Structure 1
């Protein structure tokens, strides 16, 4: 990304210069902070960068518009902060942790084979990960950045599109949280540690995630992770939700190919990295479908009465 490409008449040149200068300064500051301290993944810290970035993109807007940005974003960020902290204690609320059940389901689904164990046996040799492990690290870490980057872009483009997208983000997060509280389930690395799998499983957080000076995924999991929040996989769910949100905006096939591959790449990364079973991934995708159905039902009820409108797609349509 660079400074906004704005062709302005001579009379508007000072405005163009202001916008370009402020936006470029913001991108430079973000790049420097990322290199020195790592990607902004803490929820509040990340929200500050997003809100400042939205303001920097159009710095000459009236102050009431900037205040509207705060009013729009702060309640949603607060809801997600509550989710983060509640997710971290969901395994302490007394429900029994499901360990053997997921191993049994995975084994039944794959004829006695556990995909995580099979992949690591065939792809990791003498504890040395292959060179492309860096790519799986990038895919995994995108979970902490990409959904929120898309939210910021949607907000700048069209507030209604952003509103629909964030409604699905929050709903999906809390559906996952409810499941973590009622049905805590252990991932493959946890089952291996407890001796249920009968094989060693390397955790994905050690696989090539040192993209900058901070181990982004490891730090995030240490601060807010829940070791028994395997079912559903919200990593896989968010990856699919990103694809669903962007799909109607991809006008050419060369954009649709990476969009279609992204959820599959995330699924491979999670299973290969020992963070989730395939059944967790499938459950995450199912939760995306449920989220879309619930969100659309709520939106239809909230829609004011009037002439019949053209039916919306399940994805988020362009304005």
Structure 2
């Protein structure tokens, strides 16, 4: 009788399942601390990550940590790798091709861009005007630091937006990703067909008054050699004549038109301010002519609305075929 009242000992399968659950719970608790600790170690050893491949690794690590923390474990991590490793491969391939784009048989152009900017500036480029008014060598102003922050956001903002959409709205993630890839590779094709000097290189060749690369100078003097090396020799795939169009300008505009429709008024203010702020630092910092920026904006707007039109047409065709399906059946 006493034996009957005594609780039954758990079998081995139950004990194993309990151990697995306890292990999963520990992993969930450790996911973010391990990720943040690894990121802090990397930043301490190498500086802030700006290279595309490093930024992608950081994003993938964050998404894997989020998947583990939410309890999806191995399955969630595999989904992250499935969707993001191909994206990383596409961007890496673009970086490689962009470097090869510096070696084209066509002459590097600067005359049309310089002429247009001189006309828009009333006889002098806006880069020269802005640096005459605002630039103080050796004495950076607050807007110089703000401009550097805006400029460097190019290397991660669109990837962060993709990561957020991947977590919240996978269909919108695919649309933004498609637009980003199309915009990036159309920019590359233009670099190959129309290699173009930026203002700082045009000035170095003596074809316009001397100007300063504000972002590069400030980064180099700020004790951030890894960030500054982006402009010097931080990438073996660098291409100094990939100025037309400006993808630095195109990506903020792509984000603006992508998120505009469903955005609130305060968000729309930010969406409009971001491309304008980027355009200012690109011109003031001698990184791009105004026409480079305008063409980048046109590429972003044209690609997004062209993609939307294509998707609407494809969806309408599917609906027509679905509606006609029963009628055409024998």
Q: Same fold judged by TM-score > 0.5?
A: yes
The 5-angstrom pairing of residues 301-312 of structure 1 reads 301-303=313-315, 305-306=318-319
Radius of gyration: which is bigger? 2
Q: C-alpha distance in 2, partners of 1:117/1:142?
A: 24
**Shift of the alpha carbon at 1:108?**
1.9
Query: Are the counterparts in 1 of residues 212 and 285 from structure 2 also a CA contact under 8 Å?
Result: yes
Gap change, CA 1:148 and 1:196, over 3 Å in 2:
same
**Shift of the alpha carbon at 1:84?**
0.8
Query: What's 2:276 paired with?
Result: 264
Query: Are the counterparts in 2 of residues 205 and 218 from structure 1 also a CA contact under 8 Å?
Result: no
C-alpha offsets along residues 40-62 of structure 1, whole Å, 9 cap, x if unaligned?
22333322222221111120215
Q: C-alpha distance in 1, partners of 2:81/2:231?
A: 25
Match of 1:280 among 292, 309, 325: 292
Query: Structure 1: 5+ residue runs without aligned partners?
Result: 1-11, 309-319
Query: Structure 2: 5+ residue runs without aligned partners?
Result: 1-20, 322-330
Query: Are the counterparts in 1 of residues 147 and 215 from structure 2 also a CA contact under 8 Å?
Result: no
The 5-angstrom pairing of residues 229-248 of structure 1 reads 229-248=242-261
Q: C-alpha distance in 2, partners of 1:288/1:44?
A: 23
The 5-angstrom pairing of residues 75-86 of structure 1 reads 75-86=86-97
Match status 1:184 vs 2:195: yes
The 5-angstrom pairing of residues 47-58 of structure 1 reads 47-58=56-67
**Shift of the alpha carbon at 1:207?**
4.1
Query: What's 2:74 paired with?
Result: 63
Gap change, CA 1:207 and 1:137, over 3 Å in 2:
farther
Gap change, CA 1:298 and 1:77, over 3 Å in 2:
farther
Gap change, CA 1:228 and 1:169, over 3 Å in 2:
same
Q: C-alpha distance in 1, partners of 2:232/2:83?
A: 28
Q: CA RMSD in A?
A: 2.7
Match status 1:209 vs 2:209: no
Query: What's 1:156 paired with?
Result: 167
Gap change, CA 1:215 and 1:227, over 3 Å in 2:
same
Gap change, CA 1:15 and 1:157, over 3 Å in 2:
farther
Larger helix fraction of residues: 2
Give the count of matched residue pairs.
295
**Shift of the alpha carbon at 1:130?**
2.3
Gap change, CA 1:56 and 1:62, over 3 Å in 2:
closer
**Shift of the alpha carbon at 1:157?**
1.2
